[in-house]
Structure 1
Amino acid sequence: MTPTSFGIMTAPMQVDYHDVLRVWREADTIPEIEHAWLFDHLMPIGGDPDGPILEGWTLLSALAAQTERLRLGLLVTSNRFRSPAVLAKIATTVDIVSGGRLDLGIGAGSRPSVPMARREYEAHGLTYHDAAHAVGSLAEACTIIRRLWTETEPFDVDGTYHHLTGAFGNPKPVQRPHPPILIGGRAAATLRVAAEHADVWNIPGGDIADAVRRSALLDRFCADIGRDPAAITRSILLPVSYERPTTTREAIGRATGAGFRHIVLGLPTPYPAHVAQWAADELITT
């Protein structure tokens, strides 16, 4: 059986840089915590709507430079925010800065049912396309990013959603053949993209029964294209309760029992002192 890995997620909103840095530096010293994640929003999606929030990829690069061991990434990048060629260049830079520790987390972007997330598009002059466009664009983006990471000659792309002339990535990422690709989401259309492109699939947490159903659907989509479902690691983001750690431990047990081997523990703000060690002691090794 594939061993279970545990990580933390620190959403960089309603918090400052030094708070996040403190948690990541501590986590970097704790072997039980193998990976750490930020998210990709430009305005808060919880708490004070006008409160502080840091840009994910910029912050990730800073944290990559100040950690040594943790695998790291965004859970997950909105494909609506950046063109795939620009994202490939950003991700390559972070992989180099980190010495080859990046996992590229990517998804179609925020659902229209989340108004706190929807507003960030108009506020930043970004186009919010419908779901079909977002998922189609994601599939093309995964192909383009992988090509930029691996191909040794410039190439053109004349896709449905993306058009590039003379695209080329230099330097290449540290990891070979390329950093792992984690695709996040639960919609059937996104799962079809994950079946083709993902090394890891993540679903945001809590409802384990729904996660199990979505994982079975991913299995079916893999079978449809002749891919071994076991090639895709199953990941889940679980909310952490500082006051009720037993509740979180029970959720971890249900998730691992259902075949999820990549567990991300979402740490709410404000972060208590030594929160990473607390997570290891109370949630991982207990």
Structure 2
Amino acid sequence: MTPSVGIITAPSQVAYADLLRVWQEADTVEEIEHAWLFDHLLPISGDPLGPTFEGWTLLAALAAATERLRLGVLVTSNRFRPPAVLAKIAATVDVVSGGRLDMGLGAGSRPDVPMARREYEAHGLPYWDSPEAVARLSETCALLRRLWTADEPFDVHGEYVQLTGAYGSPKPVQRPGPPLMIGGRAGRTLRVVAEHADLWNYPGGDVEDASGRSALLDRYCTEIGRDPAAITRSLVIPVAYDDAGATRDHARHAIDAGFSHLVLSLPAPYPEKVARWVADEVINRL
């Protein structure tokens, strides 16, 4: 299996100039195929009052500053933005990037991460319980596809989303729309993955647990008559600048377990020429 390897730079506790430097360097390194941001409104680690950039605004800026990388938010919280607004945001970024967006989406932060939970109260956002959050995720997935493809305005009378005269223009460059990556590990979420996703991202780097969840996803696909192989399996691999061998071993373990889409998580501060280092010391030696 030849993996597709990219990077993720958390847009928190860092300066914009540093993120721009890494992404523009990665854009010149062909071994790095994709680049990602996360979606939080306050820090989830480090200084609780430190800087955290809004993911989609930053992604648009980085899309305009790069030419080759596929790019996305790993993953967008479906709790943060109304679905029709999110469809418009994503279409805009796909146009800005010339059709390089991968649409990362998830139900939202887990309730057992206190540093993440506080961002909802701080921004006046609702925090639905897990069953409702996953049900809303499913509605959003269907609505994104429809807004990206519909030729005429339409109404929506969903369980959670009600729209009158909904219409998306401009359409994304990619047709019928950007590939949809759904992140999550819970059974409810994996059922949504089976129905809607082109890629599935396991949140974290635990290969053993990810393998078990991947088998469960296979079962859910079979139950609805979908080929499990139609969904690319993705995993985040933490990078240790002082131990490239451990990073490679982790990546090989994930590849052997069937994860062909790897996202190397780069901790800040970023060394000079970090993208070239990732290619030489990790990707080219897999």
In the superposition, the TM-score normalised over structure 2's length comes to: 0.99
Whole-angstrom CA distance in 1 between matches of 2:59 and 2:120: 21
- 1:86 equivalent to 2:85? Answer yes
Whole-angstrom CA distance in 2 between matches of 1:239 and 1:30: 19
* 1:16 paired residue number: 15
Deviation at 1:177, TM superposition (A): 1.4
Contact residue 235 and residue 261 of structure 1 kept, 8 A:
yes
**How many residues are aligned here?**
285
Deviation at 1:161, TM superposition (A): 1.1
Deviation at 1:205, TM superposition (A): 2.6
Matches within 5 A, 1:152-231: 152-231=151-230
Deviation at 1:40, TM superposition (A): 0.3
Whole-angstrom CA distance in 2 between matches of 1:166 and 1:204: 36
* 1:118 paired residue number: 117
* 1:135 paired residue number: 134
In the superposition, the TM-score normalised over structure 1's length comes to: 0.99
Structure 2 unpaired stretches of 5+: none
Whole-angstrom CA distance in 1 between matches of 2:187 and 2:273: 39
Deviations 1:242-263 (A, max 9, x none): 1111111111000001111100
Moved more, 149-158 or 86-95: 149-158
Deviations 1:33-55 (A, max 9, x none): 00000000000001111101100
Contact residue 112 and residue 118 of structure 1 kept, 8 A:
yes
Whole-angstrom CA distance in 2 between matches of 1:163 and 1:277: 48
Structure 2 SS opposite 1:285: helix
Moved more, 202-211 or 109-118: 202-211
Deviations 1:32-82 (A, max 9, x none): 000000000000001111101100000000000010000000000000000
- 1:274 equivalent to 2:270? Answer no
- 1:56 equivalent to 2:55? Answer yes
* 1:38 paired residue number: 37
Structure 2 SS opposite 1:202: strand
Structure 1 unpaired stretches of 5+: none
* 1:75 paired residue number: 74
Q: Give the AA of the match of 1:274.
A: K
